[in-house]
Amino acid sequence: MAREQELQAYWKENLKYIIVLLSIWFCVSYLCGIVFVDQLDKFKIVGFPVGFWFANQGAEIIFCLLIIVYVRLMNRLDRKYDVYED
């Protein structure tokens, strides 16, 4: 039974990671890249209007980082709860 609770804790932590990372996913693409794009375009980084940058490149690059972070977190979590495949 203790093992069952452990596994449930594993799943809960996984869900927590997913929720946090998908919130960032939503912010950079839908909020920065679409909803608030005109407000952000008033600012500039080098030659890029910020909203335009998020929509064209920023969100895509952050997507990659999100997956990298998730992969690392999950590998650690798999080890912690002894469900790591060998």
Partner 1 sequence: MSITTWTWVIIGITFAIYILVAIRARAVSTGAFYAAEQTIHPVLNGMATGADWMSAASFISMAGVISFMGRDGSMYLLGWTGGYVLLAMLLAPYLRKYGKYTVPAFIGDRYYSQSARIISLLCAIFISFTYVAGQMRGVGVVFSRFLNVPINTGVVIGMCIVFFYAVLGGMKGVTYTQVAQYCVLIVAYMVPAIYISIMLTNNPIPAFGLGSSISPGGAEILQDSSTQGRYLLDVLNGIHKDLGFTEYTSGIRPKIDVFFIVIALMVGTAGLPHVIIRFFTVPKIRDARASAGWALIFIVLLYTAAPAVAAFARTNFIKTVHNVEYAEAPQWFKNWESTGLIAWVDKNDDGIMQYGPGKVFAGKPTYTGTTGHFGQAMVSNVVSAEPNELYVDRDIMVLANPEIARLPNWVVALVAAGGLAAALSTAAGLLLVISSSISHDLMKGVLMPSMSEKGELLWARCGAAGAVVVAGLLGIFPPGFVAQVVAFAFGLAAASFFPAIIMGIFSKKTNVYGAMSGMIAGIGFTAAYIVYFKFINPGANKPENWWFGVSPEGIGTVGMMINFALIIIVSKFTPEPPEEIQKLVDRLRYPVERTLGETKASAKARAPY
Least separation in angstroms between residue 18's CB and partner 1 is 5
Least separation in angstroms between residue 17's CB and partner 1 is 8
Rounded CA separation 48/74 (Å) = 35
Q: Footprint of partner 1 on this chain (CB under 8 A)?
A: 3, 7, 10-11, 14, 17-18, 21-22, 25, 29-30, 33-35, 37-38, 41, 45-49, 52-53, 55-57, 59-61, 63-64, 66-68, 70-71, 74-75, 78, 82-86
Rounded CA separation 67/8 (Å) = 23
DSSP readout, 51-77? HHHIIIIIHHHHHHHHHHHHHHHHHHH
